[in-house]
Chains A and B, each alone.
Chain A
Amino acid sequence: MEEQFWQTTILDFFIAFGVVVGGVALGGIGAFLTNDYPMERMLRLAEQLKIWAMVAALGGTFDTIRAIEVNVLGGQMGQVGQQLIFIMSSFLGAHIGVLLIHWLIQGEL
């Protein structure tokens, strides 16, 4: 059970991180090919993809919110905490992805 929890937490982190970094990298190539400013576009994409990276990592916000609702009503606060940690983990993954992109492109955080 505990192993499953950590597995999901780490998986959520890396999925969110990957969505941001991968999306920005490929978006940047697209911008370069379409004669757009690559750096500006990549930085903007990083901000825009952040929320969607979290959604993708959690597998759709509805399931998570539904799980929180069911567990709150069922009095299983431990489960609610777990869901919140999954959300936090995916947020951290997306945020670290954005910070990494800022650092890689501009050399500053």
Chain B
Amino acid sequence: MFRQAKKHRYSFTIFLFGMITGASLFLFLYSQKIDSLYLERDAIYFANNQKYKRILKLEQEITKLSQQKSPQTAHQPETIKKIIVEVDSEQRFGTEMIKAQVESLLEPFLDKSMDWVSNNPQLVESVLLKKPIPIDEESSQTVQVYVKYLSFHQQTLKIWVSTEEVSNNNMTIPQK
């Protein structure tokens, strides 16, 4: 077996070389398409994750309501139950990551009074201005997020944000 492999080592080398050449050619030709598919996949993952969170929250709400003996008739202030983030960015990549991170930064505003937040919109901005958001796993590129608009509708806080890159590419390849 080993002797056979040794005998055909030239063929193996050519095979490996061909494989690498083919893979490189494939990438040069189709990398744009692959990137678009990856972006689409990330958007689907994100939407799926959001839906899952929403389902969990609704289930918790159902449990809470079913445990209440008498329905509350007294007027309660409307609270934020859902936060939707829309990103206005020139960058093609990392939009989903920005959305997810902005949502996690704004999590403290959940279950807060809508009136309180709408009267103090600078609070939302100050939370976002606190830290730049990395848009890749190595954190070599980060963006600063600025609030553009806020809208409050049916227990939903919808926020439009714009981004600005705060770090440029390092000249060295980041070490993992």
Interface of A toward B, CB cutoff 8 Å: 25-26, 28-29, 32, 37-40, 42, 44-45, 47-49, 51, 101, 104-106
Report if B28 contacts A (CB, 8 A).
Answer: yes
Closest 9 CB pairs of A and B: A25-B24, A39-B31, A39-B35, A38-B31, A28-B27, A104-B28, A37-B35, A29-B23, A39-B32
Tell me whether B24 and A48 are in contact (CB under 8 A).
no
Tell me whether B28 and A25 are in contact (CB under 8 A).
yes
Report the Cα distance A7→B172, complex, angstroms. Answer: 30
Residue of chain A at shortest CB distance from B141: A44
Tell me whether B169 and A25 are in contact (CB under 8 A).
no
Query: Looking at the complex, which one of A28, A47, A49, A51 makes contact with B24 (CB distance below 8 Å)?
Result: A28
Report the Cα distance A38→B38, complex, angstroms. Answer: 9
**What string of 1s and 0s marks CB contacts (under 8 Å) between B23-54 and chain A?**
11001110110110011000000000000000
CB distance from B45 to the nearest CB of A (A): 12
**What string of 1s and 0s marks CB contacts (under 8 Å) between B1-40 and chain A?**
0000000000000000000100110011101101100110
Residue of chain B at shortest CB distance from A42: B31
CB distance from B76 to the nearest CB of A (A): 46
Report if B74 contacts A (CB, 8 A).
Answer: no
**Which residues from A are CB-within-8-Å of B31?**
28, 38-39, 42, 105
CB distance from B91 to the nearest CB of A (A): 10
**Which residues from A are CB-within-8-Å of B169?**
44, 47-48
